[in-house]
Amino acid sequence: MGKEGKVFRSRLYEINLKRGTAKLKNRVCPRCGRVMAFHKQPVPRWHCGYCSYVEIVRST
C-alpha cells in the first residue's frame, strides 16, 4: 500500500462542486486504460501496475 496506507478514492479526483464534475488527477494508461501511478525515485516516471507500461519523464 505504500507509506501512506490506504488511498481513498476522493484523493484520486479533482471535484468541482459548482460545475458538478469530477476529473481524474493521474494519467490513464494508453495500453490498457487503467490509472497510472507517478514515481519520483530513482527517476521520475509514470507506471502502470497492471500491464507494466512505463513513461519516463524527461526534463528539458
**Residue 36 domain boundaries:** 9-56
- The predicted structure's pLDDT at residue 31: 95
The answer as to whether 44 is a domain residue is: yes
The answer as to whether 3 is a domain residue is: no
Work out how many domains the chain is built from and give that number: 1
Reading phi first (left if > 0) and then psi (alpha if -120 to 50, else beta), residue 35 is in beta
The answer as to whether 29 is a domain residue is: yes
The answer as to whether 4 is a domain residue is: no
The answer as to whether 45 is a domain residue is: yes
The answer as to whether 2 is a domain residue is: no
Between CA 31 and CA 18 the distance in angstroms is: 33
Q: What are the cell numbers at 16?
A: 468541482
Q: Chunk the chain into consecutive blocks of 10 residues (it has 60) and report each block's average pLDDT, rounded to whole numbers.
A: 66 88 91 92 93 90
The answer as to whether 1 is a domain residue is: no
The answer as to whether 26 is a domain residue is: yes
- The predicted structure's pLDDT at residue 36: 93
